[in-house]
Amino acid sequence: MTADQAAEVGQLLTAAESTDGVAPVGEAVRLRMRPGSKGSRHLLARVDGKLAGYAHVDVLGDSGGHQVAELAVHPDHRQQGVGEQLVNALPAENLRIWAHGGHPDADKLAQKLGFRKVRELLRMRLRVQNDLPEPKLPEGITIRPFVPGKDEAAVVYVNHRAFDWHPEQGSMSIEDVRAKEDEDWFDPAGFLLAFDADERLAGFHWTKVHTPELGEVYVVGVDPDRQGGGLGKALTLAGLAHLQNRGVTEVMLYVEADNAPAVRVYTGLGFTLWDADVQYAR
């Protein structure tokens, strides 16, 4: 994708988000739109020379070996068959497609083309209050901020152990971390690392600030050897406190709908359902 094409697609994605209230593609797609990025196919649909639709295919795939697609149609070109033509241009075999925000038009199109829901990613949110509980760290655990150039390998190691079951998160590499360090939103002070008495990384909470009012529990990862002792909840609370100190008034997060333990933790902290991303397959 050239820089001019990326700018054109970016305008389409902004228009779609403004209309729908939710971004039509995830952060990973935005990163793959940069010139020189690999592992993607970019499909551009034009009507009378104007960009009407865009689809991204991750040809590297998830941990299950599925190619994963995300797509968007410009609001001015909807109900004209553009979305259907984009889907029909995607790989026919072993394909998964994300629909962000659970848009009803996406569900109708999926049913029409013979797709079924195979995965649901909940988006939850919390209105940050002044009386957040104090984090109760397990004995011997201390928390400090991430140090760029020092902590990448340890984070990737624990992340892989914590998310070896996850289709995307478990494959995060050192290069992925470094790429996000170059993003405007990256703040090492909001990337909290928990170490045990032997200075081994036990878990982390990576926060993200979207706007002055909205923050995110971006990733909470706990080494399996440390799970079940309250470290995940403590890290979550520490990250929420950091976001609150930044002036954030609302916090969002994503969690797999079938990850019952995590959903219970977040619900217990006061998070409520916002909407959901749905993944479809034939």
* Model pLDDT for residues 100-127, shown as the tens digit of each residue: 987 788 889 999 999 999 999 999 999 9
Q: For residue 191, give the CATH number of its domain.
A: 3.40.630.30
Of 88, 114, 140, the position where a domain reaches its end is 114
User: Does residue 219 sit in the same domain as residue 130?
Assistant: yes
| Position 68 in a domain | yes
User: Does residue 155 sit in the same domain as residue 51?
Assistant: no
User: Does residue 158 sit in the same domain as residue 260?
Assistant: yes
CA 274 – CA 252 distance, rounded (Å): 8
| Position 93 in a domain | yes
User: Does residue 266 sit in the same domain as residue 161?
Assistant: yes
Q: Which residue in this structure is represented by tokens 């409520």? A: 272
Give pLDDT tens digits for 59-77: 988 888 899 999 999 999 9
Residue 54 has pLDDT above 80, yes or no: yes
Give pLDDT tens digits for 199-232: 999 999 999 999 999 999 999 999 999 988 899 9
Over residues 185-203, the mean pLDDT reads: 97
User: Does residue 162 sit in the same domain as residue 220?
Assistant: yes
CB-hemisphere CA count at 13 Å for 44?
17
User: Which of 96-110, 172-186, 192-206, 229-243 is least confident?
Assistant: 96-110
User: Does residue 21 sit in the same domain as residue 138?
Assistant: no
Q: What is the pLDDT of residue 103?
A: 79
Q: What is the pLDDT of residue 35?
A: 84
- What's the domain range around 63? 3-114
Domain count of the fold of the chain: 2
User: Does residue 54 sit in the same domain as residue 171?
Assistant: no
Q: What is the pLDDT of residue 170?
A: 85
Give percent above pLDDT 70 in the chain: 100
Q: What is the pLDDT of residue 252?
A: 97
Asked if 282 contacts 110 with a C-beta cutoff of 8 angstroms, the reply is no
